[in-house]
Structures are given as C-alpha cells and as structure tokens.
C-alpha cells in the first residue's frame, strides 16, 4: 500500500517541481545574452537560453573570453522562462 501511495505522488510532485523551479526570475539579464565560444580551443559545455525554442540549451565554450550566460543547465533553468 505504501509503495502504491509513493508512486501516485511521484508524477504530480515532479510536475510541481518543474513548474515551480522553472523561470523564477524571468527577467534575468543573462537570459538575453548571446553565447560566444571565445578565441580559445578548449571544449567546455556551458548553457544559454534559446529565445526561439524557449528553453535552455548547451553550447561549447573554448575556455577563455567569449560570453558564457550560464555555467549549468540548472542555473539557466532557474533564471529563464523555460517555455512558459
């Protein structure tokens, strides 16, 4: 019975977390930055908010210079509208 109860709460809880955590600060200026990989040749995955797709997306940063709107997907997702 307890296993069944937890399963019933898991999906609604997941949707609540997604909608609550997504886009808390929808006017954050970093959401409007255009990513720039910079001049270096490294390969580091960073994130930006794709305004056309209305979601956070990865890009490859070279390791110096350029424009890195967000270090992590979670940071981007918490600060940008996420398709709302």
- Say if 84 falls within a structural domain: no
How much is the pLDDT for 25? 53
How much is the pLDDT for 2? 52
Cut 0.95: pTM above it: no
- Say if 69 falls within a structural domain: yes
How much is the pLDDT for 81? 79
CA distances from 61 to 20, 69, 81 (A): 29, 11, 23
Asked if 25 contacts 79 with a C-beta cutoff of 8 angstroms, the reply is yes
**Owning domain of residue 57:** 2-79
Domain count, the chain: 1
- Say if 19 falls within a structural domain: yes
Q: What is the CATH number of the domain that holds 63?
A: 4.10.410.10
Summarize pLDDT for 6-54 with one digit per residue, the tens: 555 444 544 444 445 554 556 789 999 999 999 999 999 999 999 999 9
């Amino acid at each position: 019975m307890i296993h069944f109860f937890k399963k019933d709460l898991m999906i609604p809880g997941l949707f609540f977390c997604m909608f609550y955590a997504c886009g808390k600060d929808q006017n954050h200026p970093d959401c409007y930055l255009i990513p720039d990989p910079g001049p270096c040749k490294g390969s580091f995955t960073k994130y930006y908010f794709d305004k056309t797709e209305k979601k956070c997306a990865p890009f490859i940063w070279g390791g110096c210079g350029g424009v890195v709107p967000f270090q992590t997907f979670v940071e981007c997702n918490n600060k940008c509208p996420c398709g709302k």
